Amino acid sequence: MEQIIQVKDLRFKPFISEAVILTHVERMANEINQTYRGQTVHLVILLKGAFIFGADLVRHLQIDHTIQFVKLSSYAGLASSGSIREEFGLSMDIKDKHILIIEDIVDTGTTLHYFFRKLLDAQPASLNIASLLVKPEALKYDIPVRFRGLDIENKFVVGYGLDYNDAARNLRDIYQLAE
Ligand code: IMP
């Protein structure tokens, strides 16, 4: 029987198990290892949502890398607000460096549309995106997600770092809003 959980005022059903998530994380790390072999890559982990994905991903990396954190926000509750707030940004100079943005989920793409262009202006040697989840039906911008976990339908999800008003990030599996 499906185990429905309650998060604040909403009910969620199991959607992607921890085992499936971790298979995709390892596959993505292997692709990243192959792409950046012999180079140093600077990972920019977008907080807060990507902190668990980022932590699991880096433990499969076998290439030289550094870890940076950036905090942008566009979300309040269930819907993207459309405007981006930079709570804290990148402190390193990325010119001529290989940069890989680590994101939990690309929804409308508003966040990455803003951030990707901003980083491109700083002239990195290369700039790529790794996102665990993508909601293709929700996309409003063409976002070049080079390393991609799973495409999902356009429904709200929580767990594995993803939140509903800051709750449920600690769930090991990913849950989907129940009808
Ligand atoms: P976008 O700018 O619309 O692409 O939204 C990106 C950000 O919104 C992600 O980094 C998440 O933090 C958040 N987000 C988007 N969809 C969901 C969801 O289904 N659950 C939880 N957070 C989400």
Domain ranges of the chain: 41-156
Q: Is the CB of 162 under 6 A from ligand 1?
A: yes
Protein residue with least CA distance to atom 15, ligand 1: 107
**For position 100, what pLDDT does the model report?**
98
Please state which CATH number belongs to domain 41-156.
3.40.50.2020
Task: Give the residue, out of 85, 107, 140, 163, with the most ligand 1 atoms within 8 A of its beta carbon, to mutate for a pocket test.
Answer: 107
Can you say how many angstroms the Cα of residue 133 is from the centroid of all Cα atoms in its chain?
7
Q: Is the CB of 104 under 6 A from ligand 1?
A: yes
Q: Of all residues in the chain, what percent are helix, strand and coil, respectively (each to 5)?
A: 25, 40, 35
**For position 73, what pLDDT does the model report?**
79
Ligand 1 centroid, distance to 85 Cα (angstroms):
14
**For position 78, what pLDDT does the model report?**
67
Angle at 88 between CA 8 and CA 36, to 5 degrees: 100
Q: How far apart are CA 95 and CA 116, in angstroms?
A: 14
Q: Is the CB of 156 under 6 A from ligand 1?
A: yes
**For position 82, what pLDDT does the model report?**
66
Atom of ligand 1 nearest to the CA of 104: 10
Protein residue with least CA distance to atom 16, ligand 1: 107
**For position 129, what pLDDT does the model report?**
98
Most distant pair of Cα atoms in the chain: their distance: 53
Protein residue with least CA distance to atom 10, ligand 1: 105
Q: Is the CB of 159 under 6 A from ligand 1?
A: no
Catalytic residues: 107
Q: Is the CB of 56 under 6 A from ligand 1?
A: no
- List the pLDDT tens digit at each of the 179 positions of the chain: 479 999 999 999 999 999 999 999 999 999 999 999 999 999 999 999 999 999 999 999 999 999 999 999 775 566 666 678 889 989 999 999 999 999 999 999 999 999 999 999 999 999 999 999 999 999 999 999 999 999 999 999 999 999 999 999 999 999 999 98
The phi and psi torsions of 12 (rounded to 5 degrees) equal -130, 150
